[in-house]
Amino acid sequence: MRRFLFRGLWCALLLSIALGAQAQTGSSTASDEDAQALLEALDVGSYHDKGEAITAILQSDDERARDWLQALLDGRLQRTEEGRFVVVLNNIGRNWPVADALTEEPLGEMSRRDLDRIGINNALRNQLRSAIAVVDLYSPRVERRRLSAERLLGEVDGDLAGLLDTLISEEDDLQVRQRLTQALAIYQTENGELEGVETLKGSLHPRARVALNRAANGDDPIVADAARSALASIEQNLKLNRGVETLYFGLSLGSVLVLAAIGLAITFGVMGVINMAHGELIMLGAYTTWMMQQLLPGQPGLALLLSIPAGFLVAALVGIAIERGVIQFLKGRPLETLLATFGVSLILQQLVRTVISPLNRTVVTPEWMSGSLIINDALSLTLNRMVVLGFALFVFVGLMLIMRRTRLGLEVRAVTQNRAMARAMGIRATRVDILTFALGSGVAGLAGVALSQLTNVGPNLGQNYIIDSFMVVVFGGVGNLWGTLVAGLSLGVINQLLEPWAGAVLAKIIVLVFIILFIQKRPRGLFPQKGRAAEG
């Protein structure tokens, strides 16, 4: 009997919502006396009477009705000892901030002992959820209609199904219309209707697959066969989307490797220096981003933009100090240079631990880099990785322009190809070494700025990328920027393809073995450097 009453109540709710929405294009506000009476009708012991009070609130067309019902559903609509109805803004702690339910005026904090919550049972909760969703479908705000249509997936019953046909025909937003069509099709599929199965064919939403799985195991053989065919088609689409997602994550990982390796490729190609402190230059760029956010609290976007030149400058200056203080005295002695820069890397790590902290620091991601770009129900691309990928390509294009269109680039290419001949032509190789090392170190700082948006910043950040950076440089060809780009993106995609079935560690081992075998065949990499020195 109770179930029948609630079903009748739900029919009345739907009818009142539909009639009220079609009759009015705007919202109105009831008088305080009428609104108080509507809320007082909720504060009764009978759940049936509460249901009738909910219907009355919906029929009132008060612009505050939706907020009242949401607060009632969340348990935030409460009454004070004086009989005033309030909405709890935050129910954490002993004292809760509240606002007047009628005027929405903040009333400060009240002790939870002084408030009496208006209780509802599970049946009314279900009716409220659906009622709020239907109310939102008539909202002039398209974002609210989209969210409401999303909530209805898998929640449609027989009474609501009849209303959805009208809503679909009247809806002008394509996304809302598609979601409502899917919600209706899920209901039809769960009730053994072939029309619903045909509509869901190709849908990638998890709720649609659940409904199709149930239909595939149903008693009707025609509907079951159609559901199995639809599921097979969906599975093919899912595999394609998973492949695109893997490629995207591989390219984003590869872009990080390109940023980390491209500065190393320049210094390694020009000076022949194996700089083991390159990872710490990346770390300094990441810490620069963190420090900028400390200087500009509450403005992560501005701090990140300012971190780009700041990170480049900090890493470049440290790079010049390393070149002038260590490397210039060890030219032509690669083993000693390797050991010396390894010592520098340890010093920089310990310096950061002492001055800042040995603990990782979190860098806040700006709003415009947060979230995902949703392609479909099975594929979404995270914005932070997309921005890092674009940033890596931007840095690559900038370096290519420097190398191809500036005097410094001409001198760098000359020294890279034949240092002795370049000196004979009047090029100051020492000056080129300093500027090249500063440029390569600055790009490492930019890599740190980008990495700060993908992971925590810590003293060991650079150590995670130094070996991969050397692999990219060797695989692509020493000193060749195009080789670095192709090698970095390729190794990122290969790693991402191998990890699901081989694991992260084994995938790296497989990549290392592949590079060793490749270097045996092509010792100078994918794009070997040209020139007499390179030939020698």
Whether 5 shows a pLDDT value over 70: the answer reads no
Q: Average of pLDDT values for 99-117? A: 86
Alpha helices in 477-503 (DSSP H): 481-502
Q: Average of pLDDT values for 303-311? A: 94
Per-residue pLDDT band at 143 (split at 50, 70, 90): confident
CB count, 10 Å around CB of 243? 12
Q: Average of pLDDT values for 290-298? A: 91
Whether 341 shows a pLDDT value over 80: the answer reads yes
pLDDT digits (tens, 9 = 90+) for 237-271: 999 998 899 999 999 889 988 988 888 888 876 77
**Would you say residue 150 lies in a domain?**
no
Is there a contact between 238 and 204 (Cβ–Cβ < 8 Å)?
A: yes
**Would you say residue 10 lies in a domain?**
yes
Per-residue pLDDT band at 19 (split at 50, 70, 90): very low
**Would you say residue 203 lies in a domain?**
no
Predicted confidence at residue 22, as pLDDT, reads: 46
Whether 27 shows a pLDDT value over 70: the answer reads no
Q: Which residue has the higher pLDDT, 529 or 15?
A: 529
Per-residue pLDDT band at 532 (split at 50, 70, 90): very low
CA distance 469 to 293: 28
Residue with tokens 């695109």, as numbered in its chain? 244
Same domain? For 323 and 469 the reply is yes
Predicted confidence at residue 447, as pLDDT, reads: 92
Q: Which of 128, 161, 176 is the last residue of a domain?
A: 128
Tell me, what amino acid is at 340?
A: A
Q: Is 31 exposed, middle or buried (0-12, 13-18, 19+ CB in 10 A)?
A: exposed
Task: Encode 472-501: b = buried (16+ Cβ within 10 Å), e = exposed.
Answer: bbbbbbbbbbebbbbbbbbbbbbbbbbbee
Q: Which of 103, 128, 153 is the last residue of a domain?
A: 128
Q: Tell me the average pLDDT of the chain.
A: 82
Q: Average of pLDDT values for 413-428? A: 77
Same domain? For 108 and 248 the reply is no
Is there a contact between 504 and 273 (Cβ–Cβ < 8 Å)?
A: no
Predicted confidence at residue 529, as pLDDT, reads: 61
Is there a contact between 270 and 415 (Cβ–Cβ < 8 Å)?
A: yes
Q: Which residue has the higher pLDDT, 395 or 138?
A: 395
Predicted confidence at residue 394, as pLDDT, reads: 93
**Would you say residue 21 lies in a domain?**
yes
DSSP secondary structure code for residue 276 in this structure = T
Q: Which of 107, 128, 149 is the last residue of a domain?
A: 128
In total, how many domains does the chain have? 2
**Would you say residue 177 lies in a domain?**
no
Domain extent at residue 338: 244-368+383-531
Per-residue pLDDT band at 28 (split at 50, 70, 90): low
Whether 351 shows a pLDDT value over 80: the answer reads yes
Whether 1 shows a pLDDT value over 60: the answer reads no
What would the two tokens of residue 109 be? Answer: 């904090």
Predicted confidence at residue 30, as pLDDT, reads: 58
Q: Quick one: three-class SS letters along 111-155? A: EHHHEEECCCCHHHHHHHHHHHHHHHHCCCCHHHHHHHHHHCCCC
What would the two tokens of residue 309 be? Answer: 């030149």
Predicted confidence at residue 12, as pLDDT, reads: 47
**Would you say residue 454 lies in a domain?**
yes
Predicted confidence at residue 530, as pLDDT, reads: 57
Express as a percent the part of the chain with pLDDT over 70.
Answer: 91
CA distance 470 to 493: 17
What would the two tokens of residue 13 be? Answer: 């709710």
Q: Which residue has the higher pLDDT, 478 or 283?
A: 283
CB count, 10 Å around CB of 369? 18
Per-residue pLDDT band at 481 (split at 50, 70, 90): confident
**Would you say residue 161 lies in a domain?**
no
Q: Average of pLDDT values for 222-239? A: 90
Judged by DSSP in three states, 324 sits in: helix
Whether 303 shows a pLDDT value over 50: the answer reads yes
Could you tell me the CATH number of the domain that includes residue 424? 1.10.3470
Greatest mean pLDDT among 95-104, 132-141, 286-295, 324-333:
286-295
Judged by DSSP in three states, 456 sits in: coil
CA distance 351 to 356: 8
**Would you say residue 238 lies in a domain?**
no
Q: Average of pLDDT values for 282-289? A: 94
Task: Encode 377-390: b = buried (16+ Cβ within 10 Å), e = exposed.
Answer: bbbebbbbbbbbbe
Provide the CA 87 distance to its chain's centre, in angstroms: 33
Same domain? For 278 and 404 the reply is yes
HSE, CB side, 13 Å, CA atoms: give it for residue 386.
Answer: 12
Whether 7 shows a pLDDT value over 60: the answer reads no
Tell me the pTM.
0.75
Same domain? For 359 and 486 the reply is yes
Selection from 56, 60, 495 nearest residue 254 by Cα: 495
CA atoms 274, 276, 281, 282: torsion sign: positive
